[in-house]
């Protein structure tokens, strides 16, 4: 039986979980860490993922099932390596798997693969999404039926390299007092395979309405965006990277701007932190990963989940991942 704050599967290492509810079942779309003895670096070379395994649970108390390989990078013509954190969206009976990977030039792009089953197998498009860049796609369906793709990650995710609108291998350094970079977003076309317009950068503000600064590492955006809606308010949550927090900001539109509201989760064991939030039977759950089982080896992570709770003012009670375990 699945237990909160315990690894959902241990036969493989999984990370970066994007959780969704389809037909009253919970499906988790993680990346797949491959064990190796290579070194770690700020560009993420240790994350040498090659494929996706989709997990599923009949309910939050049921065993978690590994449904096997759903997509491998060898079957994606444009990919050279590092097929990282994915997400999925359902439209008109088809499931669209969105994923980042390096193209043949070593530039991170976003791809899409399609299946008639939530667990695949998925068939990838011949090329990446035109105009896409960086990593960590998260697709949000709004109440009006529009789909938005959010993505972006600093350092190895190459977000800094796109500041001018085109790829620069050696971009200028952003000053600590300059506005921090945010995730990109774009509305998807009806085909779910292309953007309606060139992606724009989300603005994240502090309590005074000023942009969060690049030097504010406790609050600034680093990677792993996720969008959900609660009581009519849009919640953009993300990782701060270097300080290892999951935090969130709220806004009145899926396009922002968003105002920082607080910490979603304190640091877990391991360098990275990446998550998703999903409602199931009237309760809300946070899916995340850590390196507890591997003893802190950054590229040997395991997916977990826990229930989260909202305060009356719309803030979320901070999760302390190893309390009351």
Report the C-alpha gap between 90 and 95 in whole angstroms: 5
Q: Give 139's strand partners.
A: 149
Report the C-alpha gap between 163 and 272 in whole angstroms: 23
Q: Tokens 């008109």, residue?
A: 92
| Candidates 46, 87, 223, 290; catalytic one | 223
**C-beta of residue 69 within 8 angstroms of C-beta of residue 14:** no
Q: Where are the beta strands (DSSP E) in 7-137?
A: 13-22, 25-33, 51-57, 65-72, 79-81, 87-91, 94-103, 108-115, 123-124
| Candidates 16, 46, 87, 136; catalytic one | 16
Neighbours of 40 (CB within 10 A): 13
Report the C-alpha gap between 159 and 236 in whole angstroms: 18
Torsion angles phi and psi, residue 211, rounded to 5: -60, 135
All residues at 6 or more sequence positions from 73 whose CB lies less than 8 Å from its CB, including other chains: 50, 51, 79, 81, 83, 101
Rounded to the nearest 5 degrees, what angle is found at the Cα of 274, between the Cα atoms of 268 and 276? 115
Name the residue among 71, 54, 30, 58 with its Cα closest to residue 304.
Answer: 30
Q: Active site includes 16?
A: yes
Pairing mode, strands 79-81 and 65-72: unpaired
Residues labelled catalytic: 16, 223
């Amino acid at each position: 039986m699945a237990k909160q704050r315990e690894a959902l599967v241990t036969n493989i290492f999984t990370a970066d979980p994007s959780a969704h509810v389809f037909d009253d079942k919970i499906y988790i779309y993680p990346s797949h860490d491959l064990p190796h003895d290579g070194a770690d670096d700020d560009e993420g070379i240790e994350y040498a993922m090659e494929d996706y395994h989709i997990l599923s649970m009949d309910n939050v108390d049921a065993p978690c099932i590994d449904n096997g390989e759903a997509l491998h990078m060898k079957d994606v013509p444009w990919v050279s390596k590092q097929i990282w954190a994915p997400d999925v969206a359902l439209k008109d009976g088809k499931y669209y798997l969105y994923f980042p990977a390096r193209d043949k030039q070593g530039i991170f792009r976003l791809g899409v693969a399609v299946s008639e089953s939530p667990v695949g197998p998925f068939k990838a498009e011949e090329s990446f999404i035109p105009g896409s860049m960086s990593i960590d796609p998260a697709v949000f369906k709004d109440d009006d039926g529009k789909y938005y793709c959010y993505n972006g990650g600093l350092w190895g995710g190459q977000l800094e390299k796109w500041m001018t609108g085109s790829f620069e291998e050696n971009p200028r350094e952003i000053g600590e007092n300059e506005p921090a970079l945010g995730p990109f977003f774009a509305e998807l076309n009806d085909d779910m395979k292309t953007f309606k317009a060139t992606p724009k950068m989300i603005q994240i503000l502090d309590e005074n309405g000023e942009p969060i600064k690049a030097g504010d590492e406790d609050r600034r955006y680093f990677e792993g965006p996720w969008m959900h809606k609660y009581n009519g308010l849009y919640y953009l949550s993300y990782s701060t990277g270097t300080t290892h927090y999951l935090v969130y900001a709220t806004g009145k539109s899926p396009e922002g701007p968003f105002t920082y509201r607080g910490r979603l989760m304190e640091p877990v064991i391991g360098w990275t932190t990446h998550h998703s939030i999903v409602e199931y039977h009237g309760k809300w759950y946070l899916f995340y990963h850590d390196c507890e089982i591997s003893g802190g080896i950054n590229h040997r992570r395991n997916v977990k989940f826990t229930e989260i709770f909202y305060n009356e003012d719309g803030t979320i009670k901070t999760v302390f991942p190893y309390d009351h375990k």
